[in-house]
Amino acid sequence: MSVKLLYEGKAKKVFATQNPNQVLVEFKDDATAFNGQKRGQIAGKGLINASLSAHLFRLLGQHGIPTHFVDDPKPRHLLVERLSIVPLEVVVRNRVAGSLQKRTGLEDGTILDFPVVEMYYKSDDLGDPLLNDDHIRVLNLAGVELTARLKDEALGVNAVLSPYLEGRGLILVDFKLEFGITDEGVLKLGDEISPDTCRLWDKETGKKLDKDRFRQDLGTVEEAYQEVHDRIVSR
């Protein structure tokens, strides 16, 4: 199915296919944190993240949320629509953690009164800085209407995923999404949904079951990813 390598990033390889509107994405076991300052590998991560993403993209599609997902033709690979990616990372936060804790001083794990949506500029050189709506307009990254749609779509994803994951004993603390636009001008969710892009805590114990275990040297990283996969996909 794949023809040639188009791009290789920190966590994925992207291949052309015979369909010019589709690409094949291979998920790697490589792991990075802190804008690439920390590097390592998480055994089996590519297999798990591809499988989880396929499962959750299907779930979102069933709820009317457009995604780039087409198929999962073989392990650690997704066949997806080619998108022109909007250069913004959209983060939805349900509880205080990570940079939000540092910026607000609120206690880690505090439940927010409502989901908070943040936008970050996708720029490795600048360290993916947090932007407000005026910054986005000044930098011509997205218009007012598109920015509003990104927020609405992200909240729609949250409304589906949060209760679904809670039913599997997982708290969706926060998560990062990326969106893109098809050649026909349709906005769709892209990238992946996995412990790499979501903070997931055990509902009963508060144990971290996501990439923070790698970031913070907490150990048992592979086991945490596998547990998330088993709870979501195997049920």
Distance from the Cα of residue 40 to its chain's centroid: 19
Under 8 Å between Cβ of 34 and 43 = no
Superfamily for the 2-81 domain = Phosphorylase Kinase; domain 1 (3.30.200.20)
CATH fold for domain 84-220: D-amino Acid Aminotransferase; Chain A, domain 1 (3.30.470)
Quick one: CA torsion of 91, 29, 214, 192, rounded to 10 degrees?
Answer: 10
- Report DSSP state, residue 103: H
Per-residue pLDDT of the chain (235 residues; tens, 9 = 90+): 446 999 998 899 999 999 999 999 999 998 887 766 778 889 999 999 999 999 999 999 999 999 999 999 999 999 999 999 999 999 999 999 999 999 999 999 999 999 999 999 999 899 999 999 999 999 999 999 999 999 999 999 999 999 999 999 999 999 999 999 999 999 999 999 999 999 999 999 999 999 999 999 999 999 999 999 999 998 6
Query: In this structure, what token pair is assigned to residue 102?
Result: 């540092």
Query: In this structure, what token pair is assigned to residue 8?
Result: 């290789």
Q: Where are the beta strands (DSSP E) in the chain?
A: 2-8, 12-17, 22-27, 30-33, 38-41, 69-71, 77-81, 84-95, 111-121, 130-131, 170-181, 187-189, 198-202
2-81 with 84-220: one CATH topology? Answer: no
Domain ranges in the chain are 2-81, 84-220
pTM score of the predicted model: 0.94
